[in-house]
Structure 1
Amino acid sequence: MKLLAKTGFDEEAFKKYFKNTGLLMFGRVGSLAIKMVVSIFLANYLLANKNGILNTSISYIFLFASVAGLGLDSFIVKELHQFPQSKNKILGTAFGLKAIAGAVCVPLIFVVWQFFPLNGISYQIIFILSFTGLLQSLTVIDAFFQSQVQSKYIMQVQVIGNLISAAIKIILIKSNADLISFVYAALFDVFVLSLGYFLTYNRSGRKIFDWSFDQKLAKKLLSFSWPLIISGIMVSVYMRIDTIMLKELLGSEGAAAAGAYATVVMFSEALNFVPGAIVASLFPAILNARRDDKQRYMKRIQNLYDLMIWLSLSFAIFISFASPLIYKLFKTQYAAAAPVLTVHVWGSLFVFLGVASTQVLIAEGYHKLTFIRTGFGAIVNVVLNFILIPKMGMMGTAIATVVAYASSTFLILFIPKTRRQGIMMLKSVFLVSIFQKIFKR
């Protein structure tokens, strides 16, 4: 572990992180590998136009999935950590709220579609996918396992679910299935994941039927989470709106451009699960440090930001050089996406930092700021997309995305009560804190 000491990491903290998140990371890396291989086969099978239709439809539904999620996951972890004896009431209430929100999303999507339909896409596709929010209600179990730092259960569900998903898609490809079959397959992926959580939770000696719904707790959760609901919508906008805008603004070439751009997003965001996995595992320890030792708390936060930068920087550099080789895996109609990937991947630096700092803001009680910063990022992204897409196509979308991520993450520099966190992130970005640790040693 000498290398860790030389690079400036807290060796003891790193060991603890590795122990707590190792299984979760292994599971998600395994899931990623499966998804990437199948996604390449699928993109080459559907070709750019149909791939664009499928991914644009999924992005459209993703805008509503954040409403169905109600921004509850972080609060579920926090509540379970503080009140473990109320586990069944917390999980039952959160599940009930998510199920109701998911059911409401089905007619809501229909109404919105009447005013904002997507050109060249059948409502049948949108209707099938509109049940996504309802089916994902059982993901509250993921939050429970996070609070217990029991990553092996999450790993099992994700790996098995992705293997089933991959098998189904490969069978469909071999059977020369039509586009609508892959739409059903996308919805089935959500069902398999929820079913996996249900079976795993019950298998580990607990029973979902012991859950109960508490109206008082429901009001409490919603009163705290409403900024995160809006924040989730804003995150959906500036993470998914680019694919939709690309298709709509480029006219007849839009679907093909969206299909090619979907492959960029697939590779660029391949490791975006990493910060969530790390932070979810460390969040209970961060809360304990904040309660017991302020100095240790700040040290852990800085170490977390440093780790995020090292991981995202390494990934961005690798993908930037490897992008031409990566696109040799695809048919020639995707080749124009290689330079776009080289730009888009640098947004991962700000995504990694943003995920970490969001959890810190929640720990500090600044829930409303998560809405403000993501709303700002969404506005920046939409405005830049309108300006850049007609002039630069996919490259304009990539530039807009990177700028939006950076703007959202570092908005807290301009808010006095969160400026210290922004400065800590800047120290990580410019490697200042890393060099300080090296020279201190």
Structure 2
Amino acid sequence: MKSEGKKIIQNIFWLMFDKIFILLLQFFIGIKVANHYGATLFGKYSYAISIIAFSNIFFELINGRIIKKYYTDKNFDEIVYNINFFKNTISLVIFIVLIILNFIYKFDKILFMLLIFLSLDNILITATSGIENFFEFKLEARRIVISNNIVKLISYTIQYFGIIFNQDIVFIAIVSCFGSFLRLLIIKYQYKYTYLNNIGIIKEKIKLELLKKMINESKYLWLTFISFLVYTQTDKIMIKYYLGLRELGIYTIGMQLSSVLAILIVPIQNSLFPKFLKLYREDYKKYYNFYLISNTIITQIYLMITFISILVVNYSFKYIYSKEYTGAIIIYSILAFSILFKANGSLQSSHMTIKNITKKSFYKTLLSLVVNIILNMILIPKLGINGAAIATLVTQFIALFLIDFFIEEYREQAIIQLKSFNTIYFFKNFKRILKEKGR
């Protein structure tokens, strides 16, 4: 039997591997897709993805962390079945609503086909949402990761051949559906083989009272999620409204490149959280110092790689993307600094959770949404897609740094984040850490 600590470490490793592997596939095949179809068609595809992304508002009515509180050795399949039913039903309703709306508003033909196949993809993905949550609960991310990576490799290979044989952009969405269907089969097989073989036939029931209870417990997390989702998707919708699909395609490339820069943040958060919790319970002074040193190291590393990455992107971009995407270089250069502030504030959610001071985080997210919308309305008409990137940077600065100085419970983390920009402190403490390890 593996120790819990070892299982946690291995789980984190598999999650990191999944992110890196899929990001690399998306990056290399994504370049081919963007260059082949051009900024306008690629922008239409990105716009369709942004619209479908709003369906997560309904899926998150039941938060994944709340679901995990209900699992027991006896009822896990009941929970899994009800979550699959709940989310799958919502995705099916969205699919039907899209078809009805097309009869009323008559969408652009290509956009409609993209929306239909992307919403069908939602149906296939949500069919295993309960199983995936249960695998996460059991610290068995490996099962999801292996399934994802096998399917993604097949899907992206087919997409690549589709580009070679000059298939239209709807083909990309069709292939995603095919990949999700394969993934559904693999994950369902793993679940049944591993957990259901030894417990006989189960009479599965829909339990509306259980779902209502979960929804009620999830309501504050749901409100926070809505604000976050709208905030992260608003710029794309507004770019399409003010500037058109071509500009949205260019902006999307800059965003995709910035997501590569952010790849270290989530694994760092997950890896340091257990250490934070342990020190907080033992000695607050040690906890505070560890938080300060960790945050300083993260910030200083991101300070360095932010500037280096901007130089690399400026130099190498012309060798990778076609000329029509050149505007994405400036977008990346601006968004890279928003990633810097994201890295600087990456540990604050752990700190707030441990100290049980998360209540006001919803108001921070809501304020971010309002600020972002206002800035986009002002800056996009004046500065184009660069205005959208600046709006994101300013919003991240306010939400993850500035506003915390004005909230008493969050002032401590704001001061830590401010100190983390001190390069002299970084080198002094780095030397001290090395000395302590050498003793």
Using the size of structure 1 for normalisation, the TM-score is: 0.80
Is the 8 Å Cα contact of residues 306 and 336 (structure 2) preserved in structure 1? yes
Asked if structure 2 preserves the Cα contact closer than 8 Å seen for 1:70 and 1:101, the reply is no
Which residue number corresponds to residue 276 of structure 1? 266
Greater shift, 26-35 or 95-104, is seen at 95-104
1:128 matched residue in structure 2: 117
User: C-alpha separation between the residues in 2 aligned to 1:167 and 1:229?
Assistant: 36
Q: Which of residues 223, 232, 235 in structure 1 aligns to 2:225?
A: 232
* Amino acid aligned to 2:416: M
Change over 3 Å in CA distance of 1:273–1:228 after alignment to 2: farther
- Structure 1: how far apart are the matches of 2:120 and 2:345? 29
Cα offset, 1:145, TM superposition? 3.8
Q: Could you tell me which of 95, 98, 102 is aligned with 2:87? A: 98
Task: Work out the CA distance in 1 between the residues paired with 2:184 and 2:421.
Answer: 37
Query: How many angstroms does 1:158 deviate by?
Result: 2.9
| CA separation of 1:88 and 1:364: change in aligned 2, threshold 3 A | farther
Going from structure 1 to structure 2, the CA distance change for 1:236 and 1:146 (only over 3 Å counts) comes to same
Among 414, 417, 424, the alignment partner of 2:406 is 414
**Equivalent position of 1:201 in the other structure:** 191
Distance 1:113 1:376 in 2: 34
- Matched with 1:167 is 157
SS at match of 1:42: helix
Q: 1:70 aligns with which of 50, 61, 64?
A: 61
1:244 maps to what in 2?
237
Query: Deviations along 1:332-352, whole A, 9 cap, x unmatched?
Result: 111222122111122212334
SS in structure 1 at match of 2:54: helix
Between the aligned partners of 1:153 and 1:38, the Cα distance in structure 2 is 24
Residue number in structure 2 paired with 1:375: 366
Partner of 2:380: 389
Return the letter of the residue paired with 1:125. L
Q: Does the C-alpha gap of structure 1 residues 243 and 66 become closer, same or farther in structure 2, counting only changes over 3 Å?
A: same
Q: Cα offset for 1:243?
A: 1.8
Counterpart contact for 2:8–2:139, Cα < 8 Å: no
Q: Greater shift after overlay, 138-147 or 202-211? A: 202-211
Alpha-carbon displacement from aligned partner over 1:73-113 (angstroms, at most 9, x marks no partner): 23345666xx6775445444443433344344345667888
| Counterparts of 2:414 and 2:153, CA distance in 1 | 40
Q: Which amino acid aligns with 1:276?
A: V
CA distance in 1, matches of 2:334, 2:304: 15
> CA contact under 8 A between 1:102 and 1:132: conserved in structure 2?
no
Larger Rg: 2
* Corresponding pairs, count: 423
The 1:188–1:336 alpha-carbon spacing in structure 2 relative to 1, beyond 3 Å, is same
Tell me what 1:345 maps to: 336
Query: Amino acid of the residue matched to residue 245 of structure 1?
Result: M
Shift in Å, 1:311: 5.5
- 2:436 match: none
1:37 corresponds to = 28
Mapped partners of 2:11, 2:283: distance in 1? 21
- On the 8 A contact 2:121/2:176 being kept in 1, the answer is no
CA distance in 2, matches of 1:43, 1:255: 13
Q: SS of 2:260's equivalent? A: coil
The 1:439–1:288 alpha-carbon spacing in structure 2 relative to 1, beyond 3 Å, is closer
Question: Separation in 2 of the partners of 1:308 and 1:109?
Answer: 44
Q: CA deviation at 1:48?
A: 0.7
The percent identity for this pair of structures is 25
Unaligned runs of 5+ in 2: 1-5, 434-439
Judge which range, 170-179 or 427-436, deviates more: 427-436
1:428 alignment counterpart:
420
Q: CA deviation at 1:273?
A: 4.7
Q: Secondary structure at the match of 2:35?
A: helix
Farther-moved stretch of structure 1 (152-161 vs 100-109): 100-109
Q: Which residue of 1 aligns with 2:211?
A: 218
Once the 2 structures are TM-superposed, how far is the Cα of residue 298 of structure 1 from its aligned partner? 5.2
Change (3 A) 1:433 1:267: same
Is the Cα–Cα contact under 8 Å of residues 344 and 398 in structure 1 kept in the other structure?
Answer: yes
Deviates more, 1:281-290 or 1:19-28: 281-290
1:139 and 1:289 map into 2 onto residues whose CA distance is 34
Distance in 2 between the 1:116 and 1:319 partners? 44
Pairwise CA RMSD of aligned residues? Answer: 3.8
Partner of 1:6: none
**Kindly tell me: are residues 435 and 197 of structure 1, through their superposed partners in 2, closer, same or farther at Cα, counting changes over 3 Å?**
farther
State the alpha-carbon separation in 2 of the partners of residues 392 and 72 from structure 1.
Answer: 38
Q: Is 1:50 the equivalent of 2:41?
A: yes
Query: What's the counterpart of residue 4 of structure 1?
Result: none
